[in-house]
Amino acid sequence: MTGTTLLSPPSSPETGTKAKPQPSAKPPAPIVLLRTQQWSSWPDFAGSTWVPMQYLLGFLRLGVDAFWVDQLNHVDPLKDAHSLDYLMHRFDSTAREFGFQDRYCVVYESGRQYFGLSRERVTELASKADLLLSISGKGLPKGLPFLEIPRRAYVDVDPGFTQLWALHGDMGLQQFNYFFTVGQCVGLPCFRIPTQGIEWRRILPPVVLDLWPPRIDENCSRFSTVADWWGSQHIRYEGELYGGKRDEFLRFAEVPRRARQKVEIALAIYPEDHKELGLLNRNLWKIKNPYMHAGDPHSYREFIQFSRGEFSVAKGGYVKSRSGWISDRTACYLASGKPVLVQSTELEECLPTGTGLLTFRTVDEALAGFEKIDSDYRSHCDAALDLARKHFDSDTVLRSILEQVGL
């Protein structure tokens, strides 16, 4: 073998024997800080609680060193629904139940108090963090070095509204250098709201699939959904109101009666809305107390998993802006193997619909959707589960985020 030099492994200086090759060291796990605003103030809105939990627990399953920091404003037990002690007890109980009790911090009143992790620990984490991921909200907390984190990403969970709020005021978006949205049409020609030069990267709501195992049972007879009648999103643009779900529910109020389908809705609605409650009842909507039936992460999951499927409208702002929004709740129905029939926000442009995931724009299309699901229920269940595994699996969604920010 003329001209070829064979290199032998080096010998141990002590024994003269050949040393075993050493495996290369694994790179340290990325550190991700998940930031929210006021999430700890909604202990009875379990659907909202699940949103950041899917990110946090999903990152942990990927081997990411993830932590959750929530900003909480002043709480007055004489005016608000709960006291600070109760809110922190509920938050800590949820953290312990899902295994992140040592991975959260609630920053109260701009740093007057810290619950969970200490200020010193959060400051240390921020100094080492590779990525800050802010789910909604505006303006990063003062007094913590979050602006020193090299990658700062904003996650838009209210497409259409977020872009309108940015048009009408300061959302603090200039503090971020990456932008993600669950609006599948944001930035596309069909989207009606200016994006002001921001490159919104489209993602889907992540679901930690092992926390949402499929439960397919043809004996389940009720379709269901969880909703807030009024909500807080209302804004005008070019003379038009971009509102919440109330008006959309009223547009489709007759559907359960005409479809002869049981539809249960865990609905946050005021007792004073008795006329509208009467209208819903006459059209065979079964109104359930949302705090009893879906008020904690476990009952929320059970309410979904013992349903036949989801039937729901979208907020008017999502529809009117043609945002392509899809709900994190809908993603949980799909992961559970439940077909969904939801109002179109133009999401058909980016996701396969027609089996498992069906959309409607008119009452007649909603009625046809029910018929289609019932004509071959099991096939729609299988298709729903397949969609969840292919498109909403937290492993896939969160890995994509990490890759897009260069981690």
Strand partners, 66: 32
Instruction: Give residue 284's pLDDT band: very low, low, confident or very high (50, 70, 90).
Output: very high
C-beta separation of 208 from 57 below 8 A: yes
The domain spans of the chain are 31-204+394-404, 210-392
At 170 the pLDDT is 80
Q: How many CB atoms lie within 10 A of CB 96?
A: 11
At 233 the pLDDT is 80
Q: Positive or negative, the Cα torsion across 407, 130, 60, 135?
A: negative
Q: How many CB atoms lie within 10 A of CB 77?
A: 12
Query: Letter for the amino acid at 254?
Result: E
3-state secondary structure of 288: strand
Name which of 34, 28, 392 is nearest 184 in CA terms. 392
C-beta separation of 141 from 107 below 8 A: yes
Q: Do domains 31-204+394-404 and 210-392 have the same CATH topology?
A: yes
Per-residue pLDDT at 161 exceeds 90 = yes
CATH homologous superfamily of domain 210-392? Glycogen Phosphorylase B; (3.40.50.2000)
Q: DSSP E strands: which ranges in 21-76? A: 31-37, 65-72
Instruction: Give residue 169's pLDDT band: very low, low, confident or very high (50, 70, 90).
Output: confident
At 230 the pLDDT is 87
Instruction: Give residue 20's pLDDT band: very low, low, confident or very high (50, 70, 90).
Output: low
At 349 the pLDDT is 83
- In this predicted model, what pLDDT tens digit does every residue of 34-66 receive, in sequence order? 999 999 999 999 999 999 999 999 999 999 999
Burial 124-157 (b: 16+ CB within 10 A, else e): ebbeebbbbbbbbbbebbeebebeebebbbbbbb
CA distance 171 to 168: 9
The helix (H) or strand (E) run that includes residue 5 is: none
How much of the chain, in percent, has pLDDT values that exceed 90?
Answer: 85
C-beta separation of 394 from 58 below 8 A: yes
What mean pLDDT is predicted for residues 181-194? 95
Domain 31-204+394-404 has CATH 3.40.50: yes
